[in-house]
Amino acid sequence: MATSRDGLAARALRYLESKKNLAGSACGVVGVGLALTGLAGASWPFVIAGLYGAGALIAPPERVPVPDFDPSEQLGVLRGDFERLREYLAEVELPPAAGGKLTELLELYGRLLDPGWVADVLAGEPESVHVLSRAVRTDVPESVDTYNRARWWSRLQPGTVPPERHLERQLSVLFDEAERVTAGLHEVEARRQQTHTTYLEERERS
């Protein structure tokens, strides 16, 4: 009960300090002036209340501050999930071709996520972080898990498309995606270098 009262008191205090209350109060003061001069007549309480309400309505809404997310913390969480993925994959038996492709993919993910300047560039590209997060947390484990389940069914229905072929195709798509992320980060650095070159050349001419 005390917590509920504290919450109500805090909300009341926030409203008293809000732009809506300040604007309404300013308009209400005008209403008080009209009442004191007799211009509001006998309906002065309604005039004051109406002016307060009008002021509160026209006041701009309070801006709620946007949460300050730390990109480096997001990458830290993703690194932890990546390690869990690697532990899971270490227990899974895969055919040689798919296993080799998966090893290449994990090495590329590892190079992108290793702490350092590459990860710093990655942290500044939310779309790239999203792509890697989706791959680590959903795409790779789903590909491996569906392969394991499909492999069991293929024993009951010989002659169907081998499940390892689907797995190889999926891992190839994910590897191409990771390479596009890498190329995009390289482009970011190239633009940064070009921008600095342009700045230095313009400074020299000025």
| Domain assignment present for 169 | yes
- Count up the domains in the chain and report the number: 2
Same domain, 105 and 142: yes
pLDDT in tens, 124-166: 999 999 999 999 999 999 999 999 988 876 665 666 678 899 9
* Higher pLDDT among residues 206 and 125, named by residue: 125
pLDDT at 102: 96
Domain membership of residue 86 as a residue range: 71-205
3-state secondary structure the chain: CHHHHHHHHHHHHHHHCCHHHHHHHHHHHHHHHHHHCCCCHHHHHHHHHHHHHHHHHHCCCCCCCCCCCCHHHHHHHHHHHHHHHHHHHHCCCCCHHHHHHHHHHHHHHHHHHCCCHHHHHHHCCHHHHHHHHHHHHHHHHHHHHHHHHHHHHHHHCCCCCCHHHHHHHHHHHHHHHHHHHHHHHHHHHHHHHHHHHHHHHHHHHC
Same domain, 88 and 189: yes
* 200 pLDDT tier (thresholds 50, 70, 90): very high
Same domain, 109 and 45: no
Same domain, 132 and 168: yes
Same domain, 105 and 201: yes
| Domain assignment present for 65 | no
* Higher pLDDT among residues 203 and 50, named by residue: 203
| Domain assignment present for 152 | yes
**1 pLDDT more than 50:** no
Same domain, 88 and 140: yes
Same domain, 75 and 51: no
pTM, two decimal places: 0.66
Same domain, 179 and 77: yes
